[in-house]
């Protein structure tokens, strides 16, 4: 059994990014979350021309005086309709935000500082050279690298890429994920279980979690605890996906076939047990195919809370690495425990938690469970709180680490200065 940090380190050392040759031109609306496979450069200066940041009058600053000035208005420069003449001494051109600063002018006096007197504008005082003007190229020069190869694209990049015409940047592909939910007791979630049967929920939960990362679910199947059936299903999954998630059967019971099946299929197991509660019987393996592709396989415990936890702690970073990113080895934030939690000897706990942000920082409260199968505590949680292995209990007020989740539900920031 290895601890959580060691297991994470192994995942980081083992999962490889997609080969650069797999990069594809990716429409901007699909590109968020992807890793750029090329440098994106400015195709022009940014801004591309000197432009006004105000509505007002383009002037020669030397024409304006602290005591005021009277200048003859000889035309206008509006956004998209530049003035094509030159602003001569003693002249001004009406100008609007975003419009080209006309030749001859070197500043803009905002309209609030002027009054109109026929074709003359009366200025209330002086303006400095460059006042209310964005210089051409002040943000970037044509040819500058704006977003470097290897960057993970965020929503913040999208507008910039569109600005420079990079509407389909070359990106590494999103990982393809196959999900296999194993268990003879499992029935389709649309049906009514008979005694001893359980609605299959990990397929839905893991699919949602995978898609939330931007990765693609290529298949999601439910299989009975039958070695041959699981082997055939896993073989097909390995042929069509970069990452395979097998839920259930990862432990040592008579009907737990994941370890044997992975061995049958040539998957090399890097760990098969973690000192973690929940999530102990977690398997992580890889298979290098002839073409150099490295498939990643996780055997996650079927217990829905365990599956959810293992996904956030191990599968999510593995997916990020498979996107081509370099995520933090262990992302977590300092927090304070709001209520005491019993420790567990030899196993770190990752407990579904309600995290709240207050004036004094992040607080964590175990979202409460009535047993290891209690899925209601996951639904209430907006994060995890980590309780180190040990004896006795960790009291209220103790310092702990927490992992906020992007659950798509209430997040910690919605509790900012409340609760
Ligand atoms: P296993 O990891 O196969 O030993 O399963 C542990 C527990 O999780 C058992 O109570 C299973 O019935 C339950 N379980 C396994 N897979 C699923 C699933 N896909 N959906 C819901 N519950 C499951
Ligand atoms: Mg089972």
Cβ neighbours around 412 below 10 Å, total: 20
Q: Within a 10 A sphere around the Cβ of 282, how many other Cβ atoms?
A: 25
Q: What's the CA-to-centroid distance between 255 and ligand 2, angstroms? A: 7
Rounded Cα distance between 286 and 279, Å, is: 19
Q: What is the CA 76 to chain-centroid distance, rounded?
A: 45
Atom of ligand 1 nearest to the CA of 249: 3
d(CA 361, CA 291): 49
Looking at residue 331, its pLDDT comes to: 85
Farthest-apart Cα atoms in the chain, separation: 95
pLDDT per residue over 359-407, tens digit each?
Answer: 999 999 998 766 667 888 898 899 999 999 999 999 999 999 999 987 5
259 lines ligand 1 (CB under 6 A): no
CA of 224 to the centre of ligand 2 (A): 9
For residue 7, is pLDDT > 90? Answer: yes
171's enclosing H/E stretch is strand 170-171
| Mean pLDDT, range 321-342, rounded to an integer | 93
Does residue 127 contact residue 82 with C-beta atoms inside 8 Å?
no
Q: Please tell me if the CB atom of residue 306 comes closer than 6 angstroms to any atom of ligand 1.
A: no
Q: Are strands 216-223 and 198-199 parallel, antiparallel or unpaired?
A: unpaired
> Which amino acid residue places its CA nearest to atom 8 of ligand 1?
303
Q: How far is the CA of 18 from the centre of ligand 1 (A)?
A: 32
- Residue 115's DSSP bridge partners are 122
Provide, rounded to the nearest whole percent, the portion of the chain with pLDDT above 70. Answer: 96
Ligand 1: atom nearest CA of 256 is: 3
Long-range pairs, 8-12, Cβ under 8 A, ≥24: 8/313, 8/314, 8/317, 8/329, 8/330, 9/329, 10/270, 10/271, 10/284, 11/284, 11/314, 11/317, 11/318, 11/321, 12/317, 12/321, 12/329
**Which residue puts its alpha carbon closest to atom 15 of ligand 1?**
302
Given the structure tokens 């208005």, which residue do they identify? 73
- Count the neighbouring beta carbons within 10 Å of the beta carbon of residue 194: 8
Q: Is the CB of 198 under 6 A from ligand 1?
A: yes
Residue 417 has pLDDT above 50, yes or no: no
Angle at 177 between CA 173 and CA 181, to 5 degrees: 175
Residue with tokens 């890793």: 35
Band (pLDDT 50/70/90 cuts) for residue 292 is confident
For residue 184 and ligand 1, the question of a CB distance below 6 A is answered with no
Q: Is the CB of 56 under 6 A from ligand 1?
A: no
Question: What per-residue confidence (pLDDT) applies to 327?
Answer: 85
CA–centroid distance, 321 to ligand 2, in Å, is 29
pLDDT score at 416: 46
Convert the pLDDT of each residue in 93-134 to its tens digit: 999 999 999 999 999 999 999 999 999 999 999 999 999 999
Angle at 306 between CA 303 and CA 309, to 5 degrees: 150
Expressed in angstroms and rounded, the spacing between residue 322 Cα and the centre of ligand 1 is: 27
Average pLDDT over residues 242-252: 97
Are the CB atoms for 117 and 92 separated by under 8 Å?
no
User: How much is the pLDDT for 371?
Assistant: 65
| pLDDT surpassing 90 at residue 415 | no
Residue 265: its pLDDT value, please? Answer: 98
C-alpha 306 to ligand 2 mean position (Å): 13
In angstroms, the Cα distances linking 89 to 58, 104, 115, 118 are 12, 8, 19, 19
Task: Say whether pLDDT at 408 is over 60.
Answer: no
Give the per-residue pLDDT at 418.
42
- Tell whether ligand 1 has an atom less than 6 A from the beta carbon of residue 204: no
> Ligand 1 center to residue 303 CA distance, Å?
5
- Contact (Cβ atoms closer than 8 angstroms) between residue 353 and residue 305: no
Model pTM above 0.85: yes
CB of 374 closer than 6 angstroms to any ligand 1 atom: no
Rounded Cα gap, residues 227 and 218, in angstroms = 22
Among 189, 198, 309, residue to substitute to test ligand 1 (most atoms within 8 Å of Cβ): 198
Residues 6+ apart with CB under 8 A from 385: 335, 337, 341, 350, 351, 353, 355, 364, 365, 366, 400, 401, 402
Ligand 1 near 183 CB (within 6 A): yes
258 in contact with ligand 1, CB cutoff 6 A: no
Band of the pLDDT at 326, cuts 50, 70, 90? Answer: confident
Residues 163-199 have pLDDT tens digits of 999 999 999 999 999 999 999 999 999 999 999 999 9
**What pLDDT was estimated at residue 294?**
97
């Amino acid at each position: 059994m290895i601890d959580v940090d060691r297991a994470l380190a192994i995942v980081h050392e083992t999962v490889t990014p997609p080969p650069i040759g797999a990069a594809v031109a990716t429409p901007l609306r699909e590109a968020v979350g992807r890793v750029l496979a090329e440098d994106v450069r400015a195709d022009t200066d940014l801004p591309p021309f000197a432009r006004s940041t105000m509505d007002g009058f383009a002037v020669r600053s030397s024409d304006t005086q602290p005591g005021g000035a009277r200048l003859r208005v000889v035309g206008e420069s509006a956004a998209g309709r530049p003035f094509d003449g030159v602003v001569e001494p003693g002249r001004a051109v009406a100008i609007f935000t975003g419009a080209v600063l006309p030749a001859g002018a070197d500043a803009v006096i905002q309209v609030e500082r002027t009054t109109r007197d026929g074709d003359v504008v009366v200025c209330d005082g002086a303006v400095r050279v460059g006042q209310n003007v964005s210089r051409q190229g002040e943000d970037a020069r044509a040819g500058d690298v704006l977003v470097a190869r290897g960057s993970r694209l965020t929503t913040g990049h999208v507008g910039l890429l569109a600005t420079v015409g990079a509407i389909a940047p070359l990106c590494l592909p999103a990982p393809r994920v196959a999900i296999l939910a194993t268990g003879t007791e499992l029935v389709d979630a649309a049906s009514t279980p008979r005694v001893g049967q359980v609605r299959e929920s990990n397929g839905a939960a893991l699919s949602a979690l995978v898609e939330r990362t931007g990765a693609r679910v290529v298949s999601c199947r439910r299989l009975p605890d039958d070695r041959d059936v699981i082997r055939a299903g896993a073989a097909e999954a390995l042929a069509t996906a970069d990452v395979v998630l097998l839920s259930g059967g990862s432990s040592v019971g008579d009907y737990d076939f994941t370890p044997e099946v992975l061995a049958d299929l040539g998957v090399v197991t890097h760990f098969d047990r973690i000192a973690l509660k929940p999530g102990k019987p977690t398997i992580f393996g890889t298979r290098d195919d002839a073409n150099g592709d490295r498939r990643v396989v996780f055997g996650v415990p079927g217990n829905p809370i365990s599956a959810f936890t293992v996904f956030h702690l191990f599968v999510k970073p593995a997916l990020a690495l498979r996107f081509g990113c370099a995520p933090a080895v262990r992302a977590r934030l300092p927090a304070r425990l709001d209520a005491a939690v019993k420790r567990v000897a030899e196993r770190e706990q990752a407990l579904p938690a309600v995290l709240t942000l207050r004036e004094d920082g992040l607080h964590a409260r175990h979202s409460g469970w009535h047993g290891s199968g209690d899925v209601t505590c996951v639904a209430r949680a907006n994060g995890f709180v980590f309780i180190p292995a040990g004896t006795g209990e960790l009291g209220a007020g103790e310092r702990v680490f927490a992992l906020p989740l992007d659950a798509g539900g209430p997040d910690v920031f919605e509790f900012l200065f409340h609760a």
